[in-house]
Structure formats: structure tokens, C-alpha cells
Structure 1
Amino acid sequence: MNQDFASSSVPRTRRAGQNSKDSFARARLVFPDGTSRVTIERDPVPLYIQRGVGSYLFDVDGRRFLDLNGNFTTLIHGHAFAPVVEALTHQLQRGSCFANPTESEIELAELLCGRIPRVDRVRFVNTGTEAVLFAIKAARAFTGRSKIAKLEGAYHGAYDWVEVSQAATPDNWGDPTAPASAAFYRGMPASVLDDVVVLRFNDAEGVHRSLSLHAHKLAAVILDPMPSRGGLIAPKPEFIAAVQKAARESGILVIADEVLNLRQSFRGASARYGLVPDLVTMGKIIGGGLPIGAIGGREDVMKVFDASVGRPQLPQGGTFSANPLSMMAGLAAMRHLDHAAFAHLEVLGNIVRNGIGRAISNRGVPLCVTGATSLFRIHPMAQTPKDYREVYPVPAGATLMKRLTRFFAENGIILPHGAAASLSTPMTRADAEFIVDVFTGFLDSHRDTLDAIEVRT
């Protein structure tokens, strides 16, 4: 291990600099809390970024950070990826958006249909939230039913029905065998709560029981094959089988939300874990760093969008849907996400997760690491969690994770707090080993704190 990280006197030089502080002061005059996204992290001031190159970010104070956020896992090729820059430059000289279709949208759709199983047809939208929204509407239009089922603690964007129980707590999540539908924000309509059946991840018996009980009213069950905010935990084969069996028996559509987890393999996460969905939502990596979302699925289900003979069962538009900039950027990015790129990311991910795991084991500290391929998440608990309720941190654990994020920043790495950390193709083996070294340095320099804090075991 690099000895620089073994000392408890590591200089705290990576907090927000003066330029970031000045920018935040300006921002507080125009934004409700000084930011334009609730997901912006601050300690206590956000780092304002000037530019990104490859796997690194440079803040407005001129400091460099290895980026493990990647704009919430979007930038699988890192920053300013040359093929994307070239494609965008070419397109900008020809126009940024049109009311008419372009050939680039056909090319990106052909790539997705040819690569992702069960994607016979595609519709493009602007965000992952929109993709989920229209996938659920499509399931309702196809089945004539209104209710949906979703996993407790899973994030699917900003649509009322999928926000139910997204942030459930011990105070409102209800019985472990029959989770309650918990409101996400004050004033969420009771009718929304009534239309959502909440399931626990990896509870095969419970999911079959709940889906069967509400079968006649359920249009769809939506699940992320490895929910990030639910812990980035691998699905059990018996859980996937139970979801599919109950859905098929009752005519419930299965929606795989792969907005984040499409990056798990060349063909996506569903293919990796044996899920056979009826609809797939996509976003993030398919846009090459620009806003995008997509709904794909079975040809018969996707016909609800068909307007060729009049008003469709489900009208869907959007001023910037399938805009040529997103299409060109996405096409360039996805063409370079070949089998070799995914193999490289798998190697890097294994180095990081195995290295972190060894450091934990060698020092006997009550932490663990989860994830797969290019994703990982560190938890303040000794045993690997099984679902969202086990991931939910005790106060001491949350404090410890904040200290971990701060230590990483002080040593030149942006590590997301309480979410998935992601690797990118420009990263090297040395970058992966650096991540492990910094984590090991945290353990060694905070040993007294780790021994004193009682986290979940």
C-alpha cells in the first residue's frame, strides 16, 4: 500500500476551494438551496467542476479528482470521449434539433434492437424518468389494468407511482411480509399509494404471494435487476424465477429498468441474471453523455405507441425526443462499447471489489462491499445485506460513510455517498489499485473510529 495513506495526519486539501465557495454563494441567490439537483453532494459546499478529461475531473480551483460518480454512472467512457466529441461537432454544424426524424435515430435503434434481448421495437424519450413513465403507461394501455408492483427502496426516477416506498424508513415501511406503500413526499395522493404493491428484493415467496394476490389489477411489475439505492445486491435466481412465474401466470408485464444497469454487460443486466422482460427502460450510457431515455420491448406490447392508423392507444411525443445530438452521441458511445470494453471494465471492477474485500478481511472491520462488473458500493455493516431494509443505515454507519467519502475527496477521488460508484473505460489497472490504496488508507487512519463506532453486524 502507498504509505501516504497509512498516516492519520493526511492533509485535508481536497475540501471545496475558494472558487467553489464563491460559486456556491452566487448559487444560493438563485436556487432554493443553492443547487439545481437534490443529488448534489456538499461538505458543506459542493465542488464546482470546470472540466473533465477521461476518468478525471478538474474543479474550478484547479484540482484533479478521479471520478467514480460519472454523472451517476452515465459516463461509461469518461469525460470528453473523443468519438463522442467528434460526432457532436459534426452534427452541430448541421443543426441541433428538428421536428422531422433523422437517420441517426434509426441507427441507434437498430443497434439497441440488435443487442438487447427482448427489444423488438424502441421509442426514444429524453430521460430515464420518462422512459419509466412511458413503460408503465404502455403496460397499462396493453393490459387495461392500473396498478403496478415495485421493489421497496428501488429508484426509478421522478414519477409518482415508482416513488412509492423509494425512501421508506423503519417508521413507515410496515410488516416484513407485507410492506406498506410509503409516501415519498408530503402530499403524495393516497390514490397513488393504493395503486402500488410494494415487494421486497430477493423475497421469492413474498413476491409470488403478492403478485398473485393482486393479479387481476396489476399491469406490471417493475424491477431493477440490481437496485443501486437498494444496495447494489445481486438478485437470487429463485427471486427472478418467482417474479417471472407469477407474472406469466397472471398476465402481468415485467418491466426491467436498466437505465443504470444496462452497463453490466454487452447485452445488459437482464441477460446477465436470467430475467426475460416484456419491456426494458434504458438511458444514461446509451446517450453518450447527453440527455436520453428509451423504452424497448416486445413488438405486440410496443404497438400501443403505433400511430400509423390514427390515434394510438398511448400517445407519446416530446420536443427533444430522438434529437440528433443525443442520437449521434449515443451511437458513437455504444459502438465503442464492444466486448473488449466490457471485459476491461470487468477486470477493473474485480480488482477494486476484491481489493476492498481483502482490506476489510485483513483488518477485521465491520464493513462489506457489493456490486458487479464496473459498479461497487461499500456498506457500514459486517455481513452482506440481502435487501433495502438491511442496507438502511444506522446513524453511526451513515456518519462513517460520510467520513469515507470525505477521506476519498481529500486524497483525490470523487466517491458517491450512499450510491453506486462506477468505473469507466479510460481507467487503468493503476487507477483501480489507487482506489484500493485510498480505501486501505482510510481503514488504517481511522482504526480508532472504526473500533469505537458500533455499526450494524
Structure 2
Amino acid sequence: MVGSQVGQRSKDIFTRARRVFPDGTSRVTVERNPEPLYIERGIGSYLFDVDDNRFLDLNGNFTALIHGHAFVPVVEALTRQVQRGTCFANPTESEIELAELLCHRIPHVERVRFVNTGTEAVLFAIKAARAFTGRSKVAKLEGAYHGAYDWAEVSVAATPDNWGDAAAPSSTAFYRGMPASVLDEVVVLRFNDTENARQLLSFHGHSLAAVILDPMPSRGGLTAPKPEFIAAVQDTARKNGVLVIADEVLNLRQSFRGASALYGLVPDLITMGKIIGGGLPIGAIGGREEVMRVFDASAGRPLLPQGGTFSANPLSITAGLAAMKHLDHAAFAKLDELGHVVRDGVGRAISKRRASLCITGAASLFRIHPMAVAPKDNREAYLSSGPSKLMKQLGDFFVENGVMFPHAAAASLSTAMTRADAELVVDVFGGFLDSHRECWKA
């Protein structure tokens, strides 16, 4: 059965969920219409909900499932590991294998520490920079998402009402009660604003431990960085003894060597997650041996103690190792081709109808925007109520036509997809433009 609106079983299950969860869900990112779709299984590039509706999955659990669902090598590796044990207090050889793969593949990763999530990876990368430099402040991009750590959450949800001066953005709270001291310790930069970034980093350089950059922020529009912006941030940071952290939790999937290598970024630390876990929870901090030495406990208490009951657990490590071994150059070539088919097809559909929309992205990622010109940063990508409503209509149309499409986030492709799947995305988008002309007409 092709996708439809929320079925009765999903509605019934949501009624149960509201009795035990604050809003009926376990994470704020769950989309509802007005109930969420409850998933029964995933196979390859498709999801099946509890009402047996089928959906091409462009979410991939927020870009984590680069091989799609129930990827056979991962399933087989996990089956073997479960029979041996799920977690131990002692290390396993498999964690060394995955670390060796990352050190060999990702430039500037000389040492690795594993954690459980991307949030933890960012958290410990920031702490590592503080431990290494002895400083406390952090610089970050306005609108860029780096997980649920207070200092990383500053200005994630900035709006025209509070984001302040374009040359020196305000540090804004993400949630009610966020300590004012946190806001005082974060310097906010605008993505691709070269000169102002240089000035802000120079002015605050003496107190900054790190500047954290997502090479292509999803929430900021999924737009490529300007080479001069990357160079300015990197050079100014180096001159002031500020570490550069590349957050590749999402964007590591852009190439065999990750995203920093594509855009000329030479980080001191890199945070990783999502695809390196093969569909299981994971995070990793990698970087220069000199900086990573803050974790070294061989001579006693380290400068930065880092543990975690499930850090480097054999299930996540085993799944991640199986997934990453199959992410070879051929796999990335296929993902690049699928991405080109979607972005080119959607772009041609927009041009043909002269619609006031655009598409951004790279490799296996893309975002559709309700504006005629691609946004250059978070402020230009910000959606007021009207455009946001249009994107909600687009998402609903995709679901009604059997495609799971994330709202206001990066859509992602997987190696399980075919060219026909990519063309389906283009066809459904064209169908939306034709049936909702009154919504997008400039």
C-alpha cells in the first residue's frame, strides 16, 4: 500500500503514548500530522508503518542510515556479536579496528575516543579544547546545530526578534532558564561572513578555547562554505591559539574522507557520529595526537577524564565497522550520482515552472527552500510563518505520495536507493508544484 495520511493503528498507538510521554513522543524532532506515523519495519530504502503503508525514506533517522534499513552486512555482524555479548567493562579488539579505519581514512584524525552520541562527541571536543588551552569561551555559527550541550545550543534558534546586529550577532538562549553565564561564554559568528568572523575571532581570541564549525550547516541552509570564509576562520584561530573543531557528525557522509577535506578545513579536532555507527548510537572525537593527549590517563588522572558505561560498546562498534567497510569509493560515487539526479531534477522542475523555490546541498544531501534564491546563511534560510506553512504542505504531499520527507532539515539518500527512487523524488516534487501552484507562485 502506498503512503497515505496517518492510519488508525498509528492514531491508536499515539493515544497510548500520550499517557506515558509528556507530549506523546520521546524526542522533539518527531513530526506529527497531528499524530506521528509509527514504524513497524524498514527494508532497504523503504519504511513500512504499522498500517502497512510504504514510504521511500529520505530521513534515514536524521541522515544516520547511509546504507538504508536492515543492511545485511550490519545485521550479520550484529547477530554474531549479540551471541558473544552486548557490552563489557573491558575493551574489545573491534574498537581498535574502527578507530584504525577512521584514522586511516579521515585527514587529521591521529587519535580517537568513542562516545555514545553526536552530542557527547561535541561536548567532549569542547571540553578537550578547554583542557588543552586553559580557556573557557567558544565561538560557533549562528543557527548551526551541534547537539544538546548548553554552549553548543546558543543561538541555534535565533530569530529576527533576537538575533541582533549582522556584524556581531547576539548570543541567544535555546531554552527557558539557560544560564546567562553560558551566553557570556559563546561568541556567535555568521556563516560565510568572512570579515566580521575575522574581526570577532581576533577581538575575542585571547579568551577562546575553540571555534566549532559545521562545514555545511543543515539548519543554516545546507549551503557550501566560501573558501575565503574557511581560510579566514582557520587563519585567525591559529594566530590566536584557538583550536578549530569540525563538527562532521552529519556531514562526514559527504565523501570518503569527510567534509573538511572537501572544503579545505584543517581542524584540530573532528566530531563524528551517525554513519559511523551503522544505525546504532555512537559518537567519536578525533584529532591531532597533541590535543587528544588531554584524554591520556596512562600516567594518572588525565586533564580531561572521559568515560561512559556504553562508550565503545561492541554492538555500536561492530555495526559501525561493518557499515564503514562497505562505504568504499564506489558507494560514494553512487551516492553522488543519486544526489545529482535529485538536485538537478528538482532544479529543472523549478525552472520549468518558474517557481519561487530553490534547492541546495551536496553529495547525498539536499534541502528545498521556499525562496527563489539559495540562502547564504542561517538568516537568509530563516522561515517566517508563510514559507513555513508551504514547507509543511510540501512535506505532507510527499508523505501522501509515499515519500518520507523531513521538514526544515536535510534530506538524505542511501546506498540502498536506486535511480528510480531518485526519480520518484523528482516526480513527486513536480506533482506538488503542479497541484499547489497558488502556494508557491511568486
- Shared fold (TM-score greater than 0.5)? yes
Partner residue, 1:118: 108
Residue 307 of structure 1: how far off its partner (Å): 0.2
User: What letter matches 2:400 in structure 1?
Assistant: E
1:241 partner SS = helix
Matched with 1:245 is 235
| Counterpart in the other structure of 2:195 | 205
- The equivalent position to 2:57 in structure 1, one of 43, 46, 67, is 67
Render the CA deviation track for 1:130-166: whole Å, top value 9, x for unaligned: 0000000000000000000000000000000010000
Q: Are positions 1:377 and 2:360 aligned together?
A: no
Aligned counterpart in structure 2 of residue 107 of structure 1, from 87, 97, 109? 97
Q: Deviations over 1:90-148 (max 9, x none)?
A: 00000000000000000000000000000000000000000000000000000000000
1:396 deviates by 1.1
Equivalent position of 1:350 in the other structure: 340
Confirm or deny that 1:229 pairs with 2:219.
yes
Corresponding letter in the other structure for 2:427: D
Distance in 2, matches of 1:398 and 1:287, equals 32
CA distance in 1, matches of 2:408, 2:305: 37
User: Would you say the 8 A contact 2:3–2:403 is kept in 1?
Assistant: no
Q: Distance in 2 between matches of 1:128 and 1:162?
A: 12
Deviation of residue 438 (structure 1)? 0.3
User: How far apart are 1:193 and its partner, in Å?
Assistant: 0.1
Secondary structure of the structure 1 residue equivalent to 2:4: coil
4+ residue runs of structure 1 moved beyond 3 angstroms?
A: none
1:4-403 matches, cutoff 5 A: 14-403=4-393
Q: Distance in 2 between matches of 1:78 and 1:130?
A: 24
Structure 1: 5+ residue stretches without partners: 1-11
Partner of residue 438, structure 2: 448
Work out the CA distance in 2 between the residues paired with 1:39 and 1:96.
Answer: 28
Q: Is the CA contact 2:220–2:377 (under 8 Å) kept in the aligned structure 1?
A: yes
Q: Name the amino acid aligned to 1:414.
A: M
Q: Percent of aligned positions with the same letter in both sequences?
A: 78
Tell me by how many angstroms 1:13 deviates: 6.2
Structure 1 residue 395 displacement after superposition: 1.4
CA separation in 1, counterparts of 2:276 and 2:168? 36
CA distance in structure 2 between the partners assigned to 1:413 and 1:41 by the alignment? 14
Code of the residue aligned with 1:138 in structure 2: it is A
Contact 2:3 2:54 in 1 (8 A): no
- The 1-side partners of 2:4 and 2:236 are apart by 51
Q: Measure, in 1, the Cα distance between the counterparts of 2:386 and 2:303.
A: 51
Measure, in 2, the Cα distance between the counterparts of 1:240 and 1:361.
31
Q: Which amino acid aligns with 1:315?
A: P
- Residue 356 of structure 1: how far off its partner (Å): 0.4
- Gapped regions of structure 2 (runs ≥ 5): none
User: Alignment length, in residue pairs?
Assistant: 442
Q: How much has 1:449 moved relative to structure 2? A: 2.5
- Please give the secondary structure, in 1, of the residue aligned with 2:84: coil
One-letter amino acid of the counterpart of residue 213, structure 1:
F
Q: Encode CA deviations 1:206-258: one digit per residue, 9 max, x unaligned.
A: 11100000010000000100000111010000000001110111010000000
Give the structure-1-normalised TM-score.
0.96
Tell me, in whole angstroms, the C-alpha distance in 1 between the residues paired with 2:216 and 2:173: 23
Q: C-alpha offsets along residues 158-213 of structure 1, whole Å, 9 cap, x if unaligned? A: 00001000000011100001100000001100000000000000001011100000
Q: Is the 8 A contact 2:212 2:246 kept in 1?
A: yes
1:9 alignment counterpart:
none
Q: Deviations over 1:8-36 (max 9, x none)?
A: xxxx9611100000000000000000000
Letter in structure 2 aligned against 1:335: K
Partners of 1:155 and 1:410 lie apart in 2 by: 29
Which SS does the other structure have where 1:93 is aligned? helix
Tell me the secondary structure at the aligned position of residue 14 of structure 1. coil
Partners in 2 of 1:61 and 1:303 — Cα distance? Answer: 52
User: What secondary structure sits across from 1:378 in the alignment?
Assistant: strand
Separation in structure 1 between the aligned mates of residue 330 and residue 190 of structure 2, nearest angstrom: 35
- Residue 7 of structure 1: aligned partner: none
